Amino acid sequence: MAADLNDRQRRILARLVSEYIEQGEPVSSSWLAEHSGLGLSSATVRNLLARLEEQGFVHQPHTSAGRIPTDAGYRLYVDSLLQTRRRRLRSTGDLESRLRRAGTAGDLLENVSHELALASHQIAFAMAPASPAARLRNITFVRLDSHRVLIIVVASGNQITHKMVKTAEPYDMAALERAAQYINAEFTGLTLLEAREAIVARMHEERMLYDVLLTRALELAQSGLNEAAPGETLHVQGVSFLFDGALGGSVDREHVTMETLRALFRLLEEKHRLVELLTSYIDAEGLTVVIGSEHTSADMHPFSLVASTFHDGQRTGTVGVIGPTRMRYQRAITVVDGISQAVTRVLEGH
């Protein structure tokens, strides 16, 4: 269908989409005639718009109104942006300096989602891939007080997780050190999944019923490894931007109602559903843009997603934004692409 459009139709559509994104109001033929730069009369523009409407790229919300883009219109506009853009290494020195201060990979991705939300004014996410090959390097138990222990798990690839647990029985530091020594001697070098399974099996051995110290050590290690278990981790920031947009009128209210916002918030709360959705989209490296009705989930039809992959030297993760279909795609693509490049440089140690 897009192949049937001539140059004038494409340029009129691009101008209509960009104006609608900026203003949020149907765009009239008289405005396009004056501002398109094509030197066309209002009558000629009306004919072009009528043809675009027949082909499904625009529609008229009311008979007396101008036109607004459909999802197909947005798709043609975005494809044009992607075809004409020049991917280059962007200067993100200040951003990279801030990201390098993160203590763990999880902290870094949390910071990434925060930076991306601020730069795009959209919901932003950063997703680290599963790492089934990560191996246990060290586990440490730190006594915070008599009934609170901080568990620190260090895995290969400088993957660090920590978890605070409350204990029924009091612990002293000497007992915790002996417990960590036992766990490290027995399970270091196993993958995190193997270590967790081995610890569960060890806990069911009959001799453990009579060794209180070893049983407690295994219970603490199990708790820490559950936190560090392989699986995609998702960090989300910027939900307030979409909510503020709905209240302030910067979101297309014809499609984004409070009910659709609630559906999106439920999806964000059930992070495993969002992880499944994102994983189904990201089937190649680089940029991915999914618009409105292209989403497999009906809850996402009022929204668009712009995502890009990053690398840590071995694995591929994803950063991106979610916003209304009336999104500033040019800015979103530029910001997401630039931050994904910055994350790759930080994680690969460049």
Q: For 16-36, what is each residue's pLDDT tens digit? A: 999 999 998 999 999 999 988
pLDDT confidence bin for 130, thresholds 50/70/90:
low
pLDDT of residue 243: 65
SS3 state at 268: helix
Average pLDDT (318-322) is 93
Q: What is the DSSP letter of 130?
A: P
Q: What are phi and psi of 135, to 5 degrees?
A: -115, 145
Q: For 161-178, what is each residue's pLDDT tens digit? A: 778 888 888 888 888 899
Spatial distance between the Cα atoms of 189 and 137, rounded to a whole number of angstroms: 6
pLDDT at 72 over 70: yes
Number of C-alpha atoms within 13 angstroms, CB side, residue 180? 21
pLDDT of residue 350: 56
Q: Please name each of the domains of the chain with its CATH number.
A: 2-84 (1.10.10.10), 93-130+232-347 (3.30.450.40), 136-227 (3.30.390.60)
Spatial distance between the Cα atoms of 99 and 114, rounded to a whole number of angstroms: 11
- Percent pLDDT > 90 in the chain is 34
Instruction: Tell me the pTM.
Output: 0.71
Q: For 186-207, what is each residue's pLDDT tens digit? A: 999 998 888 888 888 888 775 6
Average pLDDT (239-248) is 65
pLDDT of residue 308: 93
pLDDT of residue 245: 58
Structural contact between residues 332 and 288, judged by C-beta atoms closer than 8 angstroms: no
On average, the pLDDT of the chain sits at 83
